[in-house]
Amino acid sequence: MNWKYEKGKFNIPGRWLAWSGVLALASAGGWLTYFLALNQPPEPVAVSLQTVQRGNVETTINESGTVELQEQRILKSPKEGAVDRIMVKAGDRVKVGQVLLTLRYPERKIALNNQQLEIEQEELNLARNRQKIIEAQERLTAEEAQLKRLAPLVERGAIALQQAQSQEDAVRQARAALRDAQAETRTSNLKIQSLRLEREVIQQEIQDSIVTAPMNGVVLGVNVQDGDGVELRTNLLTIGDPRKILVKLQLSTLNAVQVRVSQVARVTAIGPKPKTFMGRVQSLYPQALTAEAQKQEGGSQNQSSQPIVPATVVLDTPTRQLLPGSRVNVEIILQQRQNVVLLNTGVIGRSERSPFVWVRDSKNQAQKRPIALGLEGLMNVEVTSGLRAGEQIILPPVESELKPGIPIKTTQK
């Protein structure tokens, strides 16, 4: 075939040659563009830097508790009766032995008066019996003296034997009268002793109607009013010693196994602008209590259906800002490290075998640095090796992923 130009048109061989050249140039340009794009340095990633600081890290458990005063006691009615008079009100300071409340037992006062009258009557009888003893002793002495004078006269026959026998009868009668007087005196003594014991019982019953403060303290609450009838062991008043503030806790069994006596605790009031007070774990019950055991131990109305372990925290210093009976938050510090290299848990990478952080190298590029961790708290963690205080780490950006060697540019945080 003859490939030639014709008038007004290319011949076929020339047309293919032209298009081949165009395609070759386009292919070469594409490869050049791809090569340049592939070897172009990546765009720097905008990151923030954080300076490594020293600080404290701790692990804690949180529980709620109820504020009490040391030696807090509920004074109960010693028997059935009625409230006669209340001498104090909530908030009053009291001293040991001070009368707080009296109960009304009029029948016991009447019984005490009657008992006193019986004692006085019997004491009069005792005095008369003692006088009888004196008189009987004097009569016996006189009769024995008369019998002694008659004895030699009977021997000389100066008087009849019958007269001497009559005198012997008089001596025997005097001795019998003395014995009777002595017996009556003993009986009176025994009766007086019995009456006095009965009087002491009545006096104790009357004394029980007077409720006194068993210690120096503060009245926390009064549960009755004048005239109220009360049964045996009815709650009357609550008092406590304000020199020490206690917080009663009910720990879950999971938390209780981590708690030890003398561990530091932070107590915070519930409400606006709460204040925190420091204390220590004072006591920890040796076993968990079931709901039934809580009732037997005299648990509060907020009894748990799950086993609990009672514990007590005592504040280091007393305060009037925590009201007895109020609920508070208690944070028990289980472990604590002070003045250690500290990092926020969110900046630590954990996708590899060992934890790491991102740091900036001398070429302004991001690099991974392995670190060793110590005590981990809720929001921060101790770094035991791999970082020093004052060094800077990269805060991983949310919108992009860091890779080793990627250039970075810092932004203000």
CATH number at residue 321: 2.40.30.170
Please give the structure tokens belonging to residue 380.
């921060």
327 in any annotated domain: yes
Q: How far apart are CA 5 and CA 232, in angstroms?
A: 133
345 and 320 in a common domain: no
Q: How far apart are CA 73 and CA 386, in angstroms?
A: 56
276 and 317 in a common domain: yes
292 and 247 in a common domain: yes
81 in any annotated domain: no
Q: How far apart are CA 249 and CA 67, in angstroms?
A: 9
374 and 321 in a common domain: no
397 in any annotated domain: yes
- Tens digit of pLDDT at every position of the chain (413 positions): 444 444 444 455 555 555 565 565 556 555 555 444 455 667 888 888 999 999 999 999 999 999 998 888 899 988 888 898 999 998 899 999 999 998 887 676 777 788 889 889 989 998 998 998 999 899 889 888 888 888 777 777 767 678 778 888 888 998 999 999 999 999 999 999 998 998 888 777 777 788 899 989 899 889 999 989 888 889 999 998 888 899 999 999 999 999 999 999 999 988 888 899 999 999 999 999 987 766 655 555 556 678 999 999 999 988 878 888 889 999 999 999 999 999 998 899 988 788 999 999 989 999 999 999 999 988 899 999 999 999 999 998 887 788 899 998 887 55
344 and 332 in a common domain: no
Q: Which amino acid is at 103?
A: L
Closest by alpha carbon to 67, among 352, 375, 353, 314?
314
- Output the pTM of the full model: 0.58
263 and 202 in a common domain: no
Q: With beta carbons less than 8 A apart as the criterion, state whether 47 and 395 touch.
A: yes
111 and 195 in a common domain: yes
Count of Cβ atoms closer than 10 Å to residue 210 Cβ: 14
DSSP string, 6-64: BTTB--HHHHHHHHHHHHHHHHHHHHHHHHHHHHSPPPPEEEEEEE-EEEEEEEEEEEE
Q: Regarding beta strands 356-360 and 264-269, do their DSSP bridges make them parallel or antiparallel, or are they unpaired? A: unpaired
285 in any annotated domain: yes
160 and 253 in a common domain: no
271 and 183 in a common domain: no
328 and 245 in a common domain: yes
Domain that holds residue 265: 63-73+241-336
C-alpha 352, offset from chain centre: 45
| Domain final position from 208, 225, 254 | 208
146 in any annotated domain: yes
Count of Cβ atoms closer than 10 Å to residue 161 Cβ: 10
315 and 245 in a common domain: yes
Q: How far apart are CA 394 and CA 404, in angstroms?
A: 12
Q: Which amino acid is at 33?
A: T
Q: Which amino acid is at 42?
A: P
9 in any annotated domain: no
302 and 356 in a common domain: no
Q: How far apart are CA 165 and CA 307, in angstroms?
A: 95
| Domain final position from 302, 336, 370 | 336
CATH number at residue 397: 2.40.420.20
Q: Which amino acid is at 73?
A: R
156 in any annotated domain: yes
| Domain final position from 336, 362, 385 | 336
- How many domains are there within the chain? 3
DSSP 8-state code for residue 391: -
11 in any annotated domain: no
Count of Cβ atoms closer than 10 Å to residue 269 Cβ: 19
